[in-house]
Structure 1
């Protein structure tokens, strides 16, 4: 149990409440600190301010929680007009212990902060904030802002550091860029990346791809291309994901010719002819313009040293079959055969599945005959596709015939 009490109408002096201002007729209140071991005291004061101001009086309450922590306290010369004390019960003790643990953690953080003499100006000058700090201190502030999620404040720190020829912590910059992209602040992320590169930092490919993806989602294709151009110069060349992201974004925005020309330019600059990127480009051309135009683009890209594979053709066949455009699917198969390639099980199964959906049984018979002639008998998957399609169209007798073939003929599993 603890309490604080003073006799009525006694005078007590506590310094540092007000400081007279020679330029004003007002007294300015100041804050001081005190330390109480335990207990809680509530003392009403009627005080008179002394200074170059008129004498005024006003009742005030000053409350101190006796948790053993440093607390803010208003102090002045005043006349006590009453006494009040509050004891601590068992419930309050538990509450105070919990509060004390929180304050101890906060005191530790504040003590470390003040010991490092950080400068947190309330207003930013023309030279920017934190101009009085050295590089190490500013990097510690930058890390603190990143940990606490204060992204925009962290951007200001990076900006000031680069203008003062200080090198920001590169891992913090990378985290900051990714955080800004996730927060949909790609403009700020691009700025931080530029400042990082200017000071000698090299962002990794993941950070670059995140930024380019964010710019493409916001339809900032020009900015995305600018970032792409700077990748190789910074020592981090683009990869498949980088090219795929930009090509898809161009098609999403209706810039088909620009996407095709973009890939041609990259090939001429010495970019490896990635088959995955090539396949995505051809598939998008086939989807948005047509299979015939896609085959023409394939011929143009062959001049640049980029050639299709069976996956490219299967992708086109799958797309045209889903659209129900079997004439274009036939063109793709014909071009596949003209290049000396042979359809595989995926090619046949894709065709059979689409034809069974639309009930094109004559075409199904032609494909089955071609498969047998080329020593590519139907697999278990192919038979399942046929039986399922026939049953859905009510052709049960023929479905049973295919089922019998599966039992009496050696059928490959795949």
Structure 2
């Protein structure tokens, strides 16, 4: 018996609709997943079969074939676990009905419970665009998905589940929970919580004036001063005097943090401007983005916020050179053999450095701590 339902694959900060086709037939017992799955999806076989058995469902020895369409797009991550399990139970007759207009997402634990996934918000935006009727996600991701649905005004209903048994009950009509809804306006009514408030800083009038001018015009900023003069504190306070995030800015920033799995559980929408401060030993890939799965880097995580480079001369020349494109284009393109991914990177660059390699420009006796050549270097 063939069962069809939907899931989603991430492409940068956007999502693509994926159709899960599950067929159970006679023959030698086997479990095959096709459609360019990665290692996490291939390994899902044991998670799914064990979760189904531990949830109390009968699992006969059959030939199971799962196709993830479109088959020419790479599928990554564990978010397909719950959808494959639901499709398998539908083919076995444990879940009744058709689910072609339902998106099912979630990672399965061996006991059948559903774990949190990354990238729920862009997947929900895609669900609203595709006029999906139901979207079933882990309960910890439900508010995040509901934010996107509420923002678009779509008719898609979001349901949060905690287990495979609960998912089956929902699709069979045995339980009828209320769809998850989030009032986006109430989220923006909350006062932004910044770790350092610019109003709390005393003194440093010249530096504060420079920061205020920089914030007003969106200019990049370089602070030069001896250790302990407050450069880092001033930089951390800068986001608190920037204009509040608009809804479109907030949604785009939240997408980046969602696909990076950095979104706080109690904060389904980013309402404060991000502040990123990578260490000077950070690699080029961590700074600009990339890796095996082409994840966003620090320049994208600082989108609509501040990227602070402390001890600027300690960064390698290559690390500073890779900032050229995002500073000019306000976006970064990460290219790989199989795909090319674009990430937004519109940030304010704030850098700090000491006037001398030794720290202060002069020692206690008023003598230079380094030669002019060392300082220029």
TM-score w.r.t. structure 1 length?
Answer: 0.22
Greater share of helix residues, 1 or 2? 1
**TM-score under structure 2 normalisation?**
0.24
Which protein has greater RCO, CA pairs closer than 8 Å, 6+ apart?
Answer: 2
State which structure, 1 or 2, has the greater radius of gyration over its C-alpha atoms.
Answer: 1
